Homo-oligomer: A and B are copies of this chain.
Amino acid sequence: MDQPLSVPPGRDLRLADFDPDFTAGLDRDTAEAETRRHCDALDELAYRLFAEAKRAVVVVLQGIDTSGKDGTIRMLASGISPQCLAVKSFKAPSALELSHDFLWRVHAAIPPHGTIGVFNRSHYEDVVVVRVRKLVPKDVWQDRYAQINAFEKLLHDGGLTFVKCFLHISKKEQRQRLEDRLKDPKKQWKLGPDDLADRERWDDFQKAYDDALTECNTPHAPWHVVPADKKWYRNLVVARIVRQTLERLDPKFPKFDSSLLTKLD
């Protein structure tokens, strides 16, 4: 039995309906072996997309702190050659970025044809964290849902395929991961008071994500809710979705002028 990873566009998407600890009855070893097979397939598929150079893919990774965005990127990078991959992290916007509309910096980071982009956070921060921390008025962030949908449609019509993944962890699992980070000399430097403050607004974040995932769950760019309490299951789900997406695109190598073979000295 398989938990639904997505809901039909137009229907309410509620994170509370999804089990963050779901693993489809798999054990870790089985899942990791299957993930490895997906990554091997991704290597070849991504290279064909690169060779064809007519279409692009963006994997959007959203999720609260510690949900596993970096780990997911590392898994994808283990399968896909660096020349075919473009990782982009969206941090708090700079003064220059804030002097433009919120999609300006995102548009600039869209990967060229032939490339798989991976967004570590994205324009969805502009309807979630911005809303929870009250950085812009309500009418501004509310208008953004339609703006995002139109933007993603433009890109979709231009040959870009979105793979939007929400990495879904429980509040309990986040506590464990924050504690691990706070005790690890190699990880604790990443944490500041803001991270703990965001945890106090857990319910506000879940509500903001419910709305964003519902409003921007479109036929041309649907959302996937990825159970992420188990890192190995999260990796398996994302690897499988990206692989299935590329198999559907089925990119082809360009034609080759075989007369070149006779011209090598």
Contact = CB atoms under 8 A, between A and B. Distances in A.
Nearest to A191: B260
A190 to B, nearest CB: 8
A83 interface: yes
A51 to B, nearest CB: 5
Contacts of A89: 83
A75 to B, nearest CB: 10
A260 B196 contact: yes
A74 to B, nearest CB: 6
Copies of the polypeptide in the assembly: 2
A186 B81 CA distance: 14
Interface stretch (A13-21, A26-34, A176-184, A209-217): A176-184
Given A186-B47, A253-B186, A70 B74 contact: no
A5 to B, nearest CB: 24
Contacts of A137: none
B70 A265 contact: no
A4 interface: no
A57 to B, nearest CB: 16
A185 interface: yes
With most chain B CB atoms within 10 A of its CB, the pick from A47, A178, A200, A264 is A264
B264 A175 contact: yes
Nearest to A52: B189
A87 B77 CA distance: 12
Nearest to A89: B83
A83 B120 CA distance: 9
Contacts of A78: 78
Interface string A126-170: 000000000000000000000000000000000000000000000
Interface in A45-73: 47, 51, 70, 73
A81 to B, nearest CB: 6
With most chain B CB atoms within 10 A of its CB, the pick from A51, A178, A182, A255 is A182
Contact of A265 (B74, B81, B191, B200): B200
Nearest to A199: B265
20 contacts: A47-B186, A51-B190, A73-B83, A77-B81, A82-B87, A83-B89, A83-B120, A178-B264, A179-B264, A182-B260, A182-B264, A185-B253, A185-B256, A188-B256, A188-B260, A189-B254, A191-B260, A193-B260, A196-B263, A196-B265
Interface of A: 47, 51, 70, 73-74, 77-78, 81-83, 85, 87, 89, 118, 120, 175, 178-179, 182-183, 185-186, 188-193, 196, 199-200, 253-258, 260-261, 263-265
